[in-house]
Chain A
Amino acid sequence: DAGVTQSPTHLIKTRGQQVTLRCSPISGHKSVSWYQQVLGQGPQFIFQYYEKEERGRGNFPDRFSARQFPNYSSELNVNALLLGDSALYLCASLVVAAETQYFGPGTRLLVL
């Protein structure tokens, strides 16, 4: 079985631009969470979606938004990029009943 997949793997943007990151969960997993991992820190929660509905939001500004599609894949959008948005963006999928999250390889975003 394929694990969690994310695209693109790397991305370079300039301040003020917008970016869209994509995630496909493990087959059969209906919940997706997004995390931001800044260099030298642990991942920090951004959003959780279950069955296409937002179930949780972390302490991130409104420039960050996300959605989940009928096939349970998800997109994370970040508008008006700042230098501080440079990070590894992780997607995790889970079977709600199992309560264990499985992480994808991440998208490394560099904002110049």
Chain B
Amino acid sequence: AQSVSQHNHHVILSEAASLELGCNYSYGGTVNLFWYVQYPGQHLQLLLKYFSGDPLVKGIKGFEAEFIKSKFSFNLRKPSVQWSDTAEYFCAVNEGNTPLVFGKGTRLSVIA
């Protein structure tokens, strides 16, 4: 069965620092890849998604992710984080309309 690994459990950054959160999935095929964010007290929101085409995907709030098929990776990046980016970030994968398989999440704390 598919599995997702998120390498960092908790990341602490200062405002304006650059962010990269790692995500690897276990096996190939035609996969759909997602990053969701969960702000404190709020529900899961879609940040960005990759289905096909350009492996560099741009999402909301200045986030982007790069799909590297050879590495089974879909890392999330942001050049300059803000305090408001403090949240839990989840990487997820599925194939077609199959259920999403989520990673355990990475908690991002941005300090002033």
Contact = CB atoms under 8 A, between A and B. Distances in A.
Interface of A: 31, 33, 35, 40-45, 48, 55-56, 58, 90, 92, 94, 96, 99-106
B43 A56 contact: no
A45 B99 contact: yes
Interface of B: 4, 32, 34, 36, 42-46, 49, 51, 90, 92, 94, 96-105
A102 B46 contact: yes
B99 A58 contact: yes
Contact of A45 (B32, B49, B100): B100
B69 to A, nearest CB: 18
Contact of B43 (A42, A58, A105): A105
19 contacts: A31-B97, A35-B100, A41-B104, A42-B102, A43-B44, A43-B90, A45-B100, A55-B97, A56-B98, A92-B100, A96-B97, A99-B32, A99-B97, A100-B46, A101-B100, A102-B46, A103-B43, A104-B43, A106-B43
Contact of B102 (A31, A44, A105): A44
Contacts of A43: 44, 90, 100, 102
A99 B103 contact: no
B99 A56 contact: yes
Contact of B99 (A33, A102, A103, A106): A33
A106 B36 CA distance: 15
A104 B15 CA distance: 30
A41 B104 CA distance: 5
Nearest to A96: B97
Contacts of A31: 97
A96 B97 CA distance: 7
Nearest 6 CB-CB pairings of A with B: A42-B102, A45-B99, A103-B44, A105-B43, A43-B102, A42-B104
A48 B96 CA distance: 13
B49 A100 contact: yes
Contacts of A56: 98-99
A92 B92 CA distance: 14
